[in-house]
Structure 1
Amino acid sequence: MKQLVLTITACVLIACSGNKANKELAQKILADQDFKEVKERALKVVKTGFNAGDGYGEVWIRDYNTFIELSAEVFDKETLKENLLVFFRLQGDDGNIIDGFIPKEKAVQTEGGYEYIFNDLEPNYAGHKNTVETDHETSLVQAVYKYIKKTGDTAILNVQVGNATVAECMEQSMEFLMNHRWSEKYGLIYGATTADWGDVQHTHPWGVYITDDTVYCVDIYDNAMLLIALDNMMELIPETKGKWQTIRDDIAKNSMKVLWDEANQKFIPHVYLDKSPYPEDFNENEIYYHGGTAVAIEAGLLNKKQIKTALDKMVANVKASGAGSIGLTMYPPYPEWAFENKGMYPYGYQNGGDWTWFGGRMIQQLIKYGFVQEAYEQMKPMTDRVIKNDGFFEWYTVDNKPEGSGTFRGSAGVLYTALEQFYYWAHE
């Protein structure tokens, strides 16, 4: 009995200590002036449009998916809906979704540039598709889901686009992945060999189009994005569940079976459909993918213990590299010779650049799974540099210098969503 009383007393003390720590953290979050400033700046920058940032003319679906919730704070729902409908009007006959769209008058074909896509259903815009990616379809389904959750406009699902409703177009986009990006060998979808979530393949000086030299592989980012999209679609359109639930469960199972390295508690960067394009003496599995891991957590693939291990590895990688935040794409980066695109040098662009666009997604998952103190600590470097550099920059060098667009709306979007989560937790 004495032992039981002591045990109960210890539990009460731990609980009180935890409650006190939570209250202190909540007060710190609510009082954080940087958080308030970044939130206001995010609202301000998203008011200026829907293209990815000041360095881009297009509206990209993989970007729009990450700031549509922020856009809903400052734009009416009809404007947001029209952007989504443009993607559906430019959908391919096989169900594929374009990468981005641009006003027709700006869609000037240049040698070696984008191959523009036109459709009679869309009078104002032209599209293009970066074919090395396998996340356009999943990004659009996720964006529709976020739009509906934010606005309550379920009527968009019944909007007619050509011969199909939006709901039917969404399912057709998922069928495109099954029909044209499906590996029977692994039971997963595949894409070209890129750096984690990147859109530049290892071969070709530009690297955005599938070529005869493309090497195909399965990776965690593409398949985690598909899992999220299927969950979103089945929630919005329950009648699709009968067909897609088993497929979804098999993809989740195969993602861990094929891509999870249990011994090293990490995801294998690429599992190739044929063979690796890299020399045998190059151990690609030494590379840890930060972005794909964050999205895998969002897809529900890792348990709480594995998430904590993932965070510890990311923090260690940041320290080892000297980077500014856990938005570090990967560590270590690929060697200089691994990509033909000259911008993909070690710690350049998607090859070890530091992207808030994905770091912010990891913050969101840490909050969701109860690691709020850790999330706060890892959020601070990201909000600090927004204020210090006066902008939401596309990416940062390994020594924390800003690069690319200074109004990168994807960065603003993921930070805004994370801040909303922090405030909700603190008020609760």
Structure 2
Amino acid sequence: MKNVLVLIGLVGVSLTACGPDSRSDRVLAARISQDTSMQTVKSMAQATVGSGFNAGDGYAEVWIRDYNTFITLATELHPAETIKENLRVFFRLQGEDGNIVDGFVSKEKAQTASVGYTYIYTELEPDYAGHKNTVETDQESSLVQAVYKYVSSSGDNAFLRDTVGGQTVARRMERAMDFLMAHRYDRKYGLLWGATTADWGDVQPEHTWGVYLTDSTHYAIDIYDNAMFLIALDNLIELLPEVQPKWSTIHDEIAKHCMAHLWDKERQKFIPHVYLDGSPFPSGFNEMDVYYHGGTAVAIEAGLLSQAQVKHALDRMVANVQQSGAATIGLTLYPTYPAGSFKNEGMYPYGYQNGGDWDWFGGRMIQQLIHYGLVTEAYEQVQPMLRRAVDNHGFYEWYTVDNLPNGSGTFRGAAGVLYDTIVLFEEFAAANR
């Protein structure tokens, strides 16, 4: 949590400074306070998250990577027992090796589902079935982060002592982190691995669906998985100080290796992948040119970049938006992978995770700009996100390069991220009246 505390301190300095900067902060604070679109989107987010827990109207399941990003708002709107029960379901479905499923759905829906998941059942969980996209390496980190957000929002530290199958929530969180080190850790690079995907995505190129590891998978290391792990370790240490001796050392090593192996000093960017067994992409395509927006935003949240590097990242994202014609810095990546790079037909250039525009991640970058004191820039970049939520009467999963809504509607991840972002703007405005 040291990085987080430093960031809060930096923001605090900007909020209380005197002189010209203080005057400009007051002007910006007044603009934020008078911005009716923020209040409209905030109310819309409350209605969306208040209506359920599945990821969106295109998903039957409750996904942990989504729940992690709207659980703070959900804790405000739903009974604490409901929030905790959702978390308990993930722990009841936890594998013997400590792994965490992506999502859960009622057993009845699992039996009639048309998707191709091989559902996971445990004796501990009588009502729900789980599924796991094995190409990902963020489920365990997402659950630890979600528990942290619930406890931080509610003050319910006793939840860590709740037992699931004879093990405390605290112990099960550690087991999830142990799974990553035992089964997803590459000793050569000192980092976590997963399948090759586009930035933070869960679709590998080698299969028409692409969510399961297969014999054709090309294993790789990327910044998103490792940054999520770093954030989870920070959260774990803050919740359970007694585990610091073990996990702080691992945290620091992961952070060091991220910058040693994934950071391109010359280009001032994170490289897309370190491959463990070759690339799945054509040799004529220079993947090193691809800039990952989502992974960069999460790396910033993990405290890996300086304020100057954050500003450079923003400038690069803005340039990518201008060059691509996209609407917001939620643009997944740029340039996109060429047509045919993924067997999944939805992964065409500027489709889905191959250059789709997602508030779910763009909003996280806005949050980090605020934390790093770049509030004016954050306010400018959030405007098109707010505008399209209002114009489209809700939150969509992603947007095309032409800013048309696509994917699942009532996408709760986007609603939660934008809500949390607006709260940060409100806190800035309140501190600079």
TM-score, structure 2 length as denominator? 0.95
For the 8 Å contact 1:102–1:125, the answer to whether it is kept is yes
Q: Kindly, what percent of the aligned residue pairs are identical?
A: 64
Structure 2 match to 1:19: 22
Structure 2 match to 1:348: 351
Tell me which of 111, 116, 122 is aligned to 1:119: 122
Structure 2 match to 1:97: 100
Tell me which of 330, 333, 341 is aligned to 1:330: 333
Shift of residue 280 of structure 1?
A: 2.5
Tell me which of 158, 175, 178 is aligned to 2:178: 175
Shift of residue 112 of structure 1?
A: 6.9
The structure, 1 or 2, with the larger RCO (C-alpha pairs under 8 Å, 6+ apart) is 2
Structure 2 match to 1:272: 275
Tell me which of 358, 364, 379 is aligned to 1:376: 379
> Which residue identity does 1:134 align to in structure 2?
T
Cα distance in structure 2, aligned partners of 1:403 and 1:228: 30
Cα distance in structure 2, aligned partners of 1:335 and 1:126: 36
**Comparing 168-177 with 108-117, which one deviates more in the overlay?**
108-117
RMSD of Structure 2 on Structure 1 (CA): 1.1
Quick check: 1:216 aligned with 2:219? yes
In the TM superposition, what whole-angstrom CA distance separates every residue of 1:40-91 from its partner, at most 9, and x where no partner exists?
A: 1100111110000111100000000000011112101111000000000000
> Which residue identity does 1:417 align to in structure 2?
D
Shift of residue 281 of structure 1?
A: 2.3
> Aligned with 2:111: secondary structure?
coil
In the TM superposition, what whole-angstrom CA distance separates every residue of 1:255-279 from its partner, at most 9, and x where no partner exists?
A: 0000000000000000001222223
In the TM superposition, what whole-angstrom CA distance separates every residue of 1:129-172 from its partner, at most 9, and x where no partner exists?
A: 00000000000000000000000111111111113111010000
Structure 1 match to 2:324: 321
> Aligned with 2:253: secondary structure?
helix
> Aligned with 2:19: secondary structure?
helix
In the TM superposition, what whole-angstrom CA distance separates every residue of 1:152-195 from its partner, at most 9, and x where no partner exists?
A: 11111111111311101000000100111010110000000000
For the 8 Å contact 2:396–2:406, the answer to whether it is kept is yes
Structure 2 gaps, min length 5 = 1-16
Cα distance in structure 2, aligned partners of 1:37 and 1:409: 16
Shift of residue 378 of structure 1?
A: 0.3
Quick check: 1:390 aligned with 2:377? no
Quick check: 1:228 aligned with 2:231? yes
**Comparing 279-288 with 99-108, which one deviates more in the overlay?**
279-288
Cα distance in structure 2, aligned partners of 1:278 and 1:45: 39
Structure 2 match to 1:146: 149
Structure 2 match to 1:3: none
> Which residue identity does 2:324 align to in structure 1?
S
Structure 2 match to 1:206: 209
Structure 1 gaps, min length 5 = 1-13
For the 8 Å contact 1:109–1:115, the answer to whether it is kept is no
Structure 2 match to 1:416: 419
> Which residue identity does 2:76 align to in structure 1?
E
Cα distance in structure 1, aligned partners of 2:303 and 2:136: 22
Structure 2 match to 1:4: none
Structure 1 match to 2:11: none
For the 8 Å contact 2:67–2:146, the answer to whether it is kept is yes
Quick check: 1:261 aligned with 2:274? no
For the 8 Å contact 1:109–1:116, the answer to whether it is kept is no
> Which residue identity does 1:279 align to in structure 2?
P
> Which residue identity does 2:311 align to in structure 1?
K
Structure 1 match to 2:72: 69
Cα distance in structure 2, aligned partners of 1:43 and 1:189: 35
Structure 2 match to 1:426: 429
In the TM superposition, what whole-angstrom CA distance separates every residue of 1:329-385 from its partner, at most 9, and x where no partner exists?
A: 000000012111000000000000000000000000000010000000000000000
Tell me which of 33, 40, 43 is aligned to 1:40: 43
Cα distance in structure 1, aligned partners of 2:18 and 2:268: 30
Shift of residue 120 of structure 1?
A: 1.1
Cα distance in structure 2, aligned partners of 1:48 and 1:405: 15
Cα distance in structure 1, aligned partners of 2:346 and 2:408: 15
> Which residue identity does 1:412 align to in structure 2?
A
Tell me which of 302, 307, 311 is aligned to 1:308: 311
Cα distance in structure 2, aligned partners of 1:103 and 1:30: 43
In the TM superposition, what whole-angstrom CA distance separates every residue of 1:296-323 from its partner, at most 9, and x where no partner exists?
A: 0000000000000000000000000000
Larger Rg: 1
Quick check: 1:160 aligned with 2:170? no
Where has structure 1 moved over 3 Å in runs of 4 or more? 109-112
Cα distance in structure 2, aligned partners of 1:93 and 1:268: 34
Structure 2 match to 1:242: 245
> Which residue identity does 1:333 align to in structure 2?
T
Structure 2 match to 1:82: 85
TM-score, structure 1 length as denominator? 0.96
Query: Do the aligned partners of residues 30 and 165 (structure 1) sit closer, same or farther apart at CA in structure 2, a change above 3 Å counting?
Result: same
Structure 2 match to 1:366: 369
Cα distance in structure 2, aligned partners of 1:406 and 1:205: 24
For the 8 Å contact 2:206–2:280, the answer to whether it is kept is no
How many corresponding residue pairs? 415
For the 8 Å contact 1:324–1:400, the answer to whether it is kept is yes
Structure 1 match to 2:10: none
Structure 2 match to 1:9: none
Cα distance in structure 1, aligned partners of 2:106 and 2:250: 37
In the TM superposition, what whole-angstrom CA distance separates every residue of 1:210-245 from its partner, at most 9, and x where no partner exists?
A: 000001000000000000000100110111111111
Tell me which of 400, 404, 408 is aligned to 1:405: 408
